[in-house]
Chain A
């Protein structure tokens, strides 16, 4: 029981530290973005007004006031932080919609794609490992080769090939489908290269685990090969892959813009690309906040998981 209490205290302390450093990361990200946007050339008001829009100086001044652009940068910065503390990300210059509405409007599509891509990556990587890792050199070589090759594929190229072959030529998948059928090809394009990396990193720890003495003893107790692989070796091999996936989430959320374009999907990536090109600062800031927040939260969750799951190290810590 004492051990358990120690564990809880250690866990709480760890969580508190993580939360504090997460907040710090968030603040630094927001501040850096704000500073960078001060240097970006291009006047948002002129862009909103648009070429050809004959705006009087009064109208321009009114727009500036509306967006708070007439205030000094320091004041705008503090104002933004204050809003952020209340969960208010401001209004888009261009569409004059709340940034939260715009981002959450795209989030569903991005989250679906991210999760689908991660699922594809895990399924492909695990299949490859269960079938080929710690087997004969030929199998191992095949698996390794598959992983190295897929990890070198540019996702947007894969996307172009997949949509051309399976959608334009064979008509197996819709060109712009929503829902599950429209998710498969983009998820494959993003997930297959990711599977290569996941496979490489997991294979290493899997083979190490299979070479551990406990693997032999499990086998000696008469467990089947599949059982050994699934129940024992895999469990030990998953941690690096989990860490990797958590890095990927933040990335996939915002970075799949080329795939979104190819498959005519909306998503955060497209929103961000347009926002930067049109100098819609509140959307850019909001996206940074969201993605950094997701990264921080996912990190805290995986950190907690690692903390709880990795019993051996915990036991060691508790004893120490």
Chain B
């Protein structure tokens, strides 16, 4: 499963935070990513605009038709339009990704900030909690969440979010420590600003800044991980079209109907790729501003 990817992505981001920023303007890849993401959002919000065919309308007599002008991505085992199912699958997939990363950043943020603001003892405690989050097998965490709360997109998102929060907590803590020992804070203290004011006007904004790229990078990775769990049959309920579930359905037919495997997977990969490219670009920009 790609849970590890989330940590790794965080590590990539982490490394980027402490190393020289890339100073480049948005290139072709960034524009292309934005365009793709715009389409993905459109598919999530108004799927009928892109795919007017009903994704649940069965027609057993036209099952397993290869891609054609009538069915761009072919048809599935029940004769449903695969293109329509992939497009309509965008909303649950994207929502799971967004909710996961929101959970991860919320948990990571609380832990990270507590470590920064709570003094030495709290910092030590948080460091151990983060250790536990890393050491605890993500698969077991997700499975236990699902066993307790039942298989649903929300459960999936919580499981993925909590499972990946360790990396974010570590980054936020590191960023917080840099900020709170930085010149701004010292200056603010010397100016006699109230601690609360320093927290809200100086520390928080500086911690929050790198979160946007992290958020962007994280959605993609969370989608990959969540679809991985969904692939195991732990996500949405049938007949809902969600990318992981579509892939799970397709796997008996890989030799017979390649299109059922290739397109949903490609959607996951392209979405995750676009988010990564955009996230990396944002990261470079924010770091660039930091350095300037």
Contacts and interface: CB of A to CB of B under 8 A. Distances in A.
* Contact flag (A, B; Cβ within 8 A): yes
Interface of A: 21, 24-26, 28-29, 32-33, 36-37, 39-42, 145, 148-149, 151-157, 160-161, 163-164, 168-169, 193-194, 197-198, 200-201, 204-205, 208, 240, 243-244, 247-248, 250-258, 261-262, 269, 272-273, 276-277, 279, 284, 287-288, 291-292, 295-296
Contacts of B19: 204-205, 208
Interface string B1-36: 111110111011001100110000000010000000
7 contacts: A160-B247, A164-B261, A197-B9, A204-B19, A253-B137, A255-B137, A261-B232
B157 interface: no
Contacts of A145: 29
A252 B4 contact: yes
A168 B254 contact: yes
A89 to B, nearest CB: 14
Interface centre among A36, A253, A279 (most CB of B within 10 A): A36
Nearest to B264: A157
Contact of B268 (A157, A256, A269): A157
Contacts of A149: 269, 273
Contacts of B134: 247, 250, 295
A272 B140 contact: yes
B213 interface: no
B127 to A, nearest CB: 8
B255 interface: yes
Contact of B265 (A26, A157, A250, A257): A157
A103 to B, nearest CB: 12
A32 B131 contact: no
Interface string B248-292: 001100110010011001001110110011001000000000000
B11 A240 contact: yes
A276 B143 contact: yes
B148 interface: yes
Given A42-B147, A244-B8, 12 more contacts: A28-B132, A39-B148, A148-B277, A151-B8, A201-B12, A208-B19, A248-B4, A254-B140, A255-B3, A258-B1, A291-B136, A292-B136
A158 to B, nearest CB: 8
B189 interface: no
A155 B128 contact: no
A154 B224 contact: yes
B138 A288 contact: no
Contacts of A163: 254
A117 B251 CA distance: 22
B94 to A, nearest CB: 15
A261 B134 CA distance: 24
Contacts of A291: 135-137, 140
Interface centre among B129, B139, B227, B255 (most CB of A within 10 A): B139
B261 A148 contact: no
Contacts of A251: 1, 3-4, 7, 137-138
A197 B15 CA distance: 12
Contacts of A254: 137-140
Contacts of A164: 254-255, 258, 261
A248 B194 CA distance: 43
A43 B38 CA distance: 48
A38 B132 CA distance: 20
Contacts of B136: 29, 32, 288, 291-292
Contacts of A156: 1, 228, 231, 247
B217 to A, nearest CB: 10
B220 interface: yes
A161 B265 CA distance: 10
Nearest to B220: A152
Given A21-B128, A155-B1, A254-B137, A244 B11 contact: yes
A197 B265 contact: no
A157 B1 contact: no
B15 A152 contact: no
Contacts of A169: 255
B186 interface: no
Contact of B137 (A24, A250, A277): A250
B4 A255 contact: yes
B269 A154 contact: yes
Given A155-B2, A287-B137, A205 B269 contact: no
A143 to B, nearest CB: 14
